[in-house]
Amino acid sequence: MNSKLVGGVVGLVMASGAQAQSSVTLYGVIDDGLTYVSNVGGAHVYKMDDSVSQGNRFGFKGVEDLGGGLKAVFDLEGGFNSNTGASRQGGLEFGRLAFAGLSSAQYGTVTLGRQYDQMTTTLLRFHSGFNTVGIYNLNPGDQDRISGEWLDNMVTYTSPDLAGLKFSGQYSFNSQSAPTTNYGHAYSFGASYVRGPFSAGAAMTDIHDYFFSPGSSLGVSEFFGTTLATSSATVAVRDFRTAGVGAGWDFGKLYLSSVYTNTYFDSGRATQTLQSLNAAARYLFGPDLYAAGGYTYSKTADSKWNLFAVTIDYLLSKRTDVYVSANYEKAAGDRTRADLVTLGASSSDKQLALRVGMRHRF
């Protein structure tokens, strides 16, 4: 981060101290640990891996009271690799979030910039990847975008709380400078409802001219009914659409939740659908110890995956915890490989990841 940016942030913090109705907050997460993977390309791997339970981040967010119930808001958030110090999200300085907007308790909030779409904002809270070890436990290739995916050039409207009901709408303008994110326009909608211990949500995202690699992302050898030239071959999708519903119930010490997603790929000549059903459970043994588990069944064409995960997390303080976890995936289908998210495809239909990690929030 350059000196001009740091100086600007310090200036903002000093200015906020002079006005009680305005504030700037510095925040972040650092997650790191050791992971053993049973099979990546035919060999077992020991690796230092970061951003697993949560993505590493460093950000500034602020609010200014403009009077009459109106506030200006902003958030600048960058991701980083704690083992190398390098920026994530393709090297973007604020690749995780970069937006500003206006917020009203009566009329809602409008923000402009790079933001998560509604598959993340609305549904991640119900997925076992949120309640267990994190990214290894996500659905195949994270193609349903639940883990935390962004769109550029985004306008977002979020309604005020209407007796527990909230809804959001987003539109992303054509982004020709970033074709791997969304070359054409995109839109996303979400709605959530909270009443006592019960919560539920539904969301969808549609992206035109979407690009991805089914071989490296899903561990399959063919897509759209055609054999892939290589495992890293990129497929162009004219219209990509993913949608899902989720719900959770908090029983006090026990929390149960589930998410279903349906992801549709349309090349203009062929179509294919990826479906996933996830169930999660978390149990609090005490204020500083909990265990969580998850199961996911996914299917596309003749390929199927069964994913199991469990973690035990111990809180050293309100901001620091240590955890151990296990993720196991079993694939089925002709030339379909196990492929836990971010770890690289196995050479077989099985893959196991064991991890011990530490996370600090500030």
More confident residue, 217 or 353: 353
Q: Where are the domains of the chain?
A: 34-361
Is residue 253 within 8 A of residue 116, CB to CB? The reply is no
1 pLDDT tier (thresholds 50, 70, 90): very low
pLDDT mean over 336-347 = 95
Structure tokens at 322: 């240590």
Question: Exposed, middle or buried, 170 (CB in 10 Å: 0-12/13-18/19+)?
Answer: buried
- Residue 280, pLDDT above cutoff 80: yes
Assign domain 34-361 to a CATH class: mainly beta
To the nearest whole number, what is the mean pLDDT of the chain?
91
Whole-angstrom Cα distance, residue 274 to residue 297? 11
pTM: 0.89
In this predicted model, what pLDDT tens digit does every residue of 56-96 receive, in sequence order? 999 999 999 999 999 999 999 999 999 999 999 989 999 99
The yes-or-no verdict on residue 17 having pLDDT over 90 is no
Q: What is the mean pLDDT of residues 286-311?
A: 96
Alpha carbons 173 and 175: distance in angstroms, whole number: 6
Asked if residues 262 and 272 have their Cβ atoms less than 8 Å apart, the reply is no
Q: Which residue has the tokens 């996830």?
A: 278
Q: How confident is the model at residue 127 (pLDDT cuts 50, 70, 90)?
A: very high
